[in-house]
Chain A
């Protein structure tokens, strides 16, 4: 907000000064514009950031300090950090949701990066039919997450689903998958991996193709085997790209909402078995209409994301050095 304020203040002050000089107005405007061009050119971006990012964030922060509920237009009272105390001491919904958010992200991300690296290495060298394989691998990426959720929901249906029919053929008893209290989160992680590994492949493949061949060739001359070449040459060189992939995919995975909502609905199932922070905040605000509490959860969630990002960027800097 303050950024917006100074920029506006300055431009207006400039305008005032320009208007004070009587002669030709058009000339004075271009002179003024020229003098303030750094503000003028940056203004659209600054207004955009102010209106679409800073304002909503500041508003959420404000709401999180009030007892706003029912309707956001209703009278609210400023209650300081009470919402935060309530949220942080809530061991029934909040902390389990934090745990699920982190384990969902951790497991999904680890699998996606390992799998993504494997697939990227396979696709690295040219081979016959390469184009078709690449297209096929990228297909899940372009599907709508809600449609993906519905599709897997049918596939994993405990009674009529394809997976259980398949298991039945080889004599394994039907599994509950999405409807099981202990299996639901794992199943949604699988869906996330299925959909987002291609994105990691894409990023890593871009990194691989930009690597120079020489170090690899030199190692080959020295008699290093494929295993050694990957772990001591390719991977260290790829590290900055890997961290970019982790950063992008990690933030996205933390914020996952659509597939969870599409498969388990409000509250993440009858036992809240897939309720992550995002799903929890949605329920607080759209089902319970407790905007103050919901905002507090979102601010805490935002801090978790910022924290993770900061850690990863630090790591990236260390690697780049």
Chain B
């Protein structure tokens, strides 16, 4: 009796699942109709591509279905859809340093190694080394970088001039200048930067490297408790605590910090160069004509900003439409498109575009110089290089917040060091 009912139940379940598969078999249809389903993040780069998509459709006869999402929604979507093995996404915009390792480990990303080297005209060799490294996992190319960024110093020309200070070349000069300007202008902060535990990690990383530290040492052990790291933590947090905005919130990511700077409420701001348009566009910034740019000031170990690919394009491994997906990527990352994007204010990963004077023609001159310097001394990562990056960022970000709120950065760094080592051990298992 019991067995019979189990058999029957299995039959019903099979029928149901067949029905469900029938509903979900959009993949095959899309392939037949020549559709590429592309999921992109909200970004200046995406706006440019969106406007150019009709060109691609005309040239290839393929139809592009575009889904555009905010950063957090995008990563939630991937978590749900890729986890379920969905083939509803063909091309996906992803963050190589944030999700790359985890996605590759889970088998979400198609191996593009043979595809990237197949077309000499498209030229994979043209890509800068750092971005290529970040898009390669275990020797396999899993993504094509599209946007690169470095941390630079944004500053207010007028405030510096009024205070009679030079553009700071070292961290000590930066602190002195911030102090002087904050003292002279009670309503203006000397310095502002990201303060939220997780969001601040990437912008703090350049300070960490410039003070001679890193998140892990050469043996892959936690290094956030080193003397250099402790100094970096207390310097970054101290700048914000002592010369930052009054009542500073510890929830600021770039939109909040950028808003303070563009409202004219801060003299110095360290942030990714790829966001510069927010500060120089008169529609978004009250101080658009007064913003200057410089390379990150040098710490005890020199000026060592990160130089990373913040976004890349990858192909969903479960997609039945991988060849068309690759056609889209090849077009979207071609030299022409990269140059067009870069002219619109999105720093790209192609060496030839940077070498071309047209590639930097639309950039403020000081920003182009800062980028060139940073690309030379840059470090290829801006966050711990682990699988569960989200958790690691929260751990190593703890001392930043502690330092901003005036707690002892050194003891916070010690406990973060212990927690981070434990985390690294758990990932090795």
Contact = CB atoms under 8 A, between A and B. Distances in A.
B76 A8 contact: no
Interface stretch (A100-108, A221-229, A259-267): A259-267
Contacts of B260: 159
B305 to A, nearest CB: 24
Contacts of A71: 82-83, 106-108
A266 B83 CA distance: 20
Contacts of A265: 72, 196, 251
A287 B79 CA distance: 9
Contact of B9 (A9, A74, A176): A9
Contacts of A8: 8-9, 12
A181 B195 CA distance: 14
Contacts, number: 84
Interface stretch (B35-43, B343-351, B383-391): B383-391
Nearest to B263: A160
B225 interface: no
Interface size class of A (residues with CB under 8 A): 20 to 34
A270 B251 contact: yes
Nearest to B197: A270
Contacts of B391: 287-288
A25 interface: no
B105 interface: yes
Among B8, B105, B248, B397, max chain A CB count under 10 A is at: B8
A289 B392 CA distance: 12
Contacts of B401: 270-271
Given A288-B388, A289-B388, A266 B198 contact: yes
Contacts of A212: none
A14 B79 CA distance: 43
Interface in A57-89: 70-74
Contacts of A178: 249, 251
A302 to B, nearest CB: 20
B196 A159 contact: no
Interface in B348-401: 387-388, 390-391, 394, 397, 401
A174 B105 contact: no
A267 B394 contact: yes
A286 interface: yes
Nearest to A92: B419
Given A8-B12, A71-B83, A269 B250 contact: yes
Contact of A270 (B83, B85, B195): B195
Nearest to A176: B247
A178 B196 CA distance: 13
B246 A269 contact: no
A9 B12 CA distance: 10
B250 A179 contact: yes
B73 to A, nearest CB: 11
A159 B189 CA distance: 12
Contact of A286 (B75, B82, B245, B397): B75
A271 B265 contact: no
Nearest to B400: A270
B8 A12 contact: yes
Given A73-B85, A74-B106, A265-B196, A159 B250 contact: no
Given A179-B250, A269-B251, A159 B245 contact: yes
A158 B249 contact: yes
A280 to B, nearest CB: 12
Interface in A261-306: 264-267, 269-271, 285-289
B387 A286 contact: no
Interface in B197-233: 197-198
A264 B107 CA distance: 32
A71 B107 CA distance: 9
5 contacts: A8-B9, A12-B12, A70-B106, A179-B250, A266-B390
Given A71-B106, A174-B246, 12 more contacts: A8-B12, A9-B9, A70-B102, A71-B82, A71-B108, A159-B247, A160-B263, A266-B198, A270-B250, A285-B79, A286-B79, A289-B388
Interface of A: 5-6, 8-9, 12, 70-74, 158-160, 164, 174, 176, 178-179, 181, 264-267, 269-271, 285-289
